[in-house]
Amino acid sequence: MKNITAKVYPNSREASVKETEKGILEIRVKSVPEKGKANKEAAAAIADFLGIPKSAVKITKGSRSKNKVFTIDE
């Protein structure tokens, strides 16, 4: 298992993922932060970025914060 630290920006105009110099993923999602919609879209964005199945990405910390930790099952 691998942990990935990410900063999620909900309600963005465009969905995107980029890696910062510090190794943190900046994820912009179009979804609103209600009922986990933005978290689900962020997990899907990480899966697409890494080329892995969506089921392999789970949020482990920060479900109600912009700063999150995702766990990748390999």
Pairing of strands 67-72, 25-28: unpaired
Q: What is the pLDDT of residue 62?
A: 94
Order of strands across the sheet with 2-9? 16-19, 25-28, 2-9, 67-72, 57-61
Based on the structure, what is the number of domains in the chain? 1
Task: State pTM to two decimals.
Answer: 0.90
Residue 53's domain is classified under what CATH number?
A: 3.30.1200.10
The whole-angstrom separation of Cα 43 and Cα 54 is 7
Q: What is the pLDDT of residue 74?
A: 76
Sequence-distant (6+) residues with CB within 8 A of 35 are none
Q: What is the pLDDT of residue 66?
A: 93
Q: 26 lies in which domain range?
A: 2-72
pLDDT, tens digit, for every residue of 48-66?
999 999 999 999 999 999 9
pLDDT, tens digit, for every residue of 9-46?
999 999 999 999 999 999 999 999 999 999 999 999 99
